[in-house]
Amino acid sequence: MNPQTTDSTEIRLPTGFRFAGVHSGIKETAKDLAIIACDAPSTAAGVYTQNLVRAASIDWNRQITPSSIAAGIVINSGNANACTGGQGHRDNQQMAATAAEALGCEADQVLVLSTGVIGQSLPMDCVDPGIRQAASSAGNKTTDFLDAADAIMTTDRFRKTCFRAFSCGDSSGVITGMAKGAGMIGPNMATMLSILVTDCYLSPQDADHLLRKAVNVSFNCISVEGHTSTNDAVLLLSSSQGTPLREAGQVAAFEAALTETCVDLARQIPADGEGASHVIEIRIDGAKTDTDADRIARTIAQSALVKTAFTGADPNWGRIVSAAGYSGVEFDLAETALTLNGHTVFESGQPAPFDPAAVSQDLRQNRDAQVVLSVGQGPGRATHWTSDLTVDYVRLNSEYTT
């Protein structure tokens, strides 16, 4: 497999899809409604928030995925349509029905995503005509895709897109994705949305299985403040216009490309963390199991003290090691070592000699920070990504109604 990623202006699109993003009036001026239309009935799979308080769109999508007859996705931003009672479910169904009428299909062939402010009813007098406008203008150009990517954003500072082209034997294809998210990000389908489209031939069962595996090591491994949203979702659409994955090697090549796409998109979310000055990669190795390593990484990623240390460019290794210690995972401190941006600051259970001023300067000058914590000689490994916690984050979220 030869994975490929590139600038969003050079994104390649798989065959079988059309895209649009328009301003419907949910927001004052910005694009706020997107359509992804399938040229023919397509495979669809989804992974959704684990929050018991969830949006109407999540309940709708859970009922109709996995599917082999998906006709498209309609997405609105600026309004989560969550905690809106029976009216919210009726509005969600109307969104699907309006999109279905515009696309020439049945309502249960249309997936729905919403993101934005919780507890407000959708302005359907804006949404309905916006859906029709988006459906009528949908196209298969890169600019159409980028319009859709812009229309799903809320507090994002930049659009999040990527693609991978893959090939193995006589099987080849493209996976292209978009995502949104900058705050209310917790590592259980951390608010975030992502839509992935591919022309690779996939059955609903294969799409569901492969998407869940990819999400588990990507979108489920990011956090900003650890708050799992009501609307989190990752959807995968396959037009199945490419060659089938006949051999194990072809399935593995597709799975690797899908995982890399999800990791790429997932990492862009904490990189856009509201007010963030650092995106922090936390790598754990030497644990007894991958599950243990994941638990340690999650605990460190969610520590406010660890996050604020990076805000201040403080090589405060004690916060990191102690967070690992309360993760609930057994490990031997005498076999534990820690590096920050490649500088060894702790090893064999005690402080290592290092220049705090030099490490601090390194952290201050680099937006990307790396924590590598080895906790033994076991095979367990995990990687998580998070952002630091700044005064700007507090200010932005005190001023923005969520």
Per residue, the 3-state secondary structure of 71-110, as one string, reads EEEEEEEEECCECCHHHHHHHHHHHHHHHHHHHCCCHHHE
- Here the contacts of 355-360 (C-beta below 8 Å, separation 24 or greater) are 356/315, 359/315, 360/313, 360/314, 360/315
pLDDT attached to residue 226: 58
Question: Per-residue pLDDT for 42 more than 80?
Answer: yes
Q: Over the stretch 194-227, which tens digit does the pLDDT of each residue have?
A: 999 999 999 999 999 999 999 999 988 887 665 5
DSSP three-state, residue 393: helix
Question: Per-residue pLDDT for 170 more than 60?
Answer: yes
Cα(330)–Cα(321) distance, rounded to whole angstroms? 13
Question: Per-residue pLDDT for 365 more than 70?
Answer: yes
Structure-block tokens of residue 106:
């049945």
Using alpha carbons, list the distances in angstroms from residue 233 to 60, 197, 330, 365.
Answer: 12, 14, 33, 34
pLDDT attached to residue 1: 34
Cα torsion for 61, 108, 76, 174, to the nearest 10°? Answer: 80
Cα(282)–Cα(276) distance, rounded to whole angstroms? 16
pLDDT attached to residue 3: 36
Question: Per-residue pLDDT for 2 more than 90?
Answer: no
Cβ contacts of residue 240 below 8 Å, gap of 6+?
16, 42, 43, 199, 200, 201, 202
Instruction: DSSP for 320-386, please give it.
Output: HHHHHHTSS----GGG-EEEETTEEEEETTEEPP--HHHHHHHHHH-SEEEEEEE-SSSSEEEEEEE
Mean pLDDT of 235-259: 90
Residue 326 burial by CB count (10 A; 0-12/13-18/19+): exposed, middle or buried? Answer: exposed
Instruction: DSSP for 38-56, please give it.
Output: EEEEEEEEEEE---SS-BH
Cα(17)–Cα(59) distance, rounded to whole angstroms? 25
Fold type of domain 279-399:
Ubiquitin-like (UB roll) (3.10.20)
| Identity of the amino acid at 290 | D
| Identity of the amino acid at 68 | S
Strand pairing category for 368-374 and 279-287: parallel
Cα(12)–Cα(145) distance, rounded to whole angstroms? 10
pLDDT attached to residue 29: 93
Cα(57)–Cα(113) distance, rounded to whole angstroms? 6
| Domain definitions of the chain by residue range | 8-271, 279-399
Q: Over the stretch 263-297, which tens digit does the pLDDT of each residue have?
A: 999 888 887 766 678 889 999 999 999 999 999 99
Question: Per-residue pLDDT for 167 more than 90?
Answer: no
Report the catalytic residues.
191
Mean pLDDT of 140-164: 94
The answer to whether 8-271 and 279-399 have equal CATH topology is: no
Residue among 134, 144, 111 at smallest CA distance from 13: 144
DSSP state of 8: G
Instruction: DSSP for 123-161, please give it.
Output: -HHHHHHHHHHHHHH-BSSHHHHHHHHHHT-SS-SS-EE
- Angle, helices 317-325 vs 290-301, to 10°: value is 130
pLDDT attached to residue 277: 84
Q: What is the CATH number of domain 8-271?
A: 3.60.70.12
Tokens 């004052």 appear where?
28
Cα(312)–Cα(36) distance, rounded to whole angstroms? 42
What average pLDDT does the chain have? 90
Portion of the chain with pLDDT greater than 70, in percent: 91
8 band by pLDDT with thresholds 50, 70 and 90? very low
Q: End-to-end distance of the chain based on CA atoms, in angstroms?
A: 42
Residue 279 pairs with which residues in a beta bridge? 368, 387
Tokens 């992804």 appear where?
36
